[in-house]
Amino acid sequence: MGGDNVSKLKPEDKKDILSIALRSGCKKMGNHVAWPAHSADNVIPITSCSEKNMYSASDLRKGLKVDIDGEPYIITDFDFSKPGKGQALYRTKMRNMITGNQFTQTYRSHDKFKKADLEERTMQFLYAQGDEYHFMDTVSYDQVALSKEQLGDSQKFLMDNMEVAVLFYAGTRPIAVNLPIFVNLAVTRADPWAKGDTSGTDTKPVTVETGYELQVPPFVEQGDKIQIDTRSGEYITRVKE
């Protein structure tokens, strides 16, 4: 329980403790994050971060990104509850934006959260080397590398020189890549559509230049450029150039 340790204190202790931020020092255990008992040395004084960079429990909502133990988390599920005459409880499910680990936690009104320091920068995809994908900032020419795992599905649509948004955590740490919603890719392999095919299917599989395979309408041929929705990975239309 996130807030337990405070409520256990005597009322006269509460005033001091309540004036400081409570979220700190969690330890990861498998897919869960366990909160240690708070002690004097693992609480962060609220004064170390300006109030405008903090959220209180009543700010929590789906999609909010918070910083816990130096890692960014996104809230994937949220529910407010309050038993009659009881305390407000903020039940949240969070996903670690770096590791993907999920955990659920109940917070109370006095709990405070640091805003996750996230920033998107436009970068150009340079090349892949083994499992490392290299990108370059088009303004500063700084280069960064992300792993195949960090790219996730984005990797299926990446072309040399493609401009993407790289998500940075804490200014310097790249954690994810956001592609344009639509990308145009050339079809490198497509079986010719046999007229009179009575198999009843109205799509066929093709492979595009990045190696990604998808279902398209039968009229798409090898060498065509097609538009793909990178959110769903689905075919949108054939593009004339």
Q: Cα 72 from chain centroid?
A: 9
How many other C-beta atoms lie within 10 A of the C-beta of residue 233?
A: 14
- Give the number of residues in contact with other proteins, rule: CB under 8 A: 26
Q: Which of 45, 63, 84, 223 binds other proteins (CB under 8 A)?
A: 84
Name the residue nearer to other proteins (CB basis): 47 or 138. 47
Question: 80 phi and psi, to 5 degrees?
Answer: -95, 130
User: How would DSSP label each residue in 15-78?
Assistant: HHHHTSB-----EEETTEEEPPPP-GGGPBPGGGS-GGGEEEGGG--TT-EEEETTEEEEEEEE
Question: 14 phi and psi, to 5 degrees?
Answer: -60, -40
> Which part of the chain contacts other proteins (CB under 8 A), choosing from 28-36, 85-93, 117-125, 170-178?
85-93
Residue 45 makes contact with other proteins by CB under 8 A: no
Residue 34 makes contact with other proteins by CB under 8 A: no
- The CA-based angle 77-79-81, given to 5 degrees, is 160
Q: Which of 63, 86, 192, 196 binds other proteins (CB under 8 A)?
A: 86
Q: CA 158 to CA 147: how far, in whole Å?
A: 13
What mask, x for binding other proteins by CB under 8 A, covers residues 48 to 77? ----------x-------------------
> Which part of the chain contacts other proteins (CB under 8 A), choosing from 81-89, 92-100, 151-159, 202-210?
81-89
Q: Which of 28, 91, 115, 134 binds other proteins (CB under 8 A)?
A: 91
Taking CB under 8 A as the criterion, which residues in 96-155 touch other proteins?
Answer: 106, 109-110
Alpha carbon of 99 to those of 149, 158, 169, 175, 176: distances in Å?
9, 22, 13, 9, 11
Q: Which of 85, 161, 219, 241 binds other proteins (CB under 8 A)?
A: 85
Q: Which of 7, 143, 222, 227 binds other proteins (CB under 8 A)?
A: 7
Residue 239 makes contact with other proteins by CB under 8 A: no
- The continuous run of DSSP H or E covering 116 comes out as none
Question: 5 phi and psi, to 5 degrees?
Answer: -65, -25
Residues that bind other proteins (CB under 8 A): 1, 4, 7-8, 11-12, 14-15, 18-19, 58, 79-89, 91, 106, 109-110
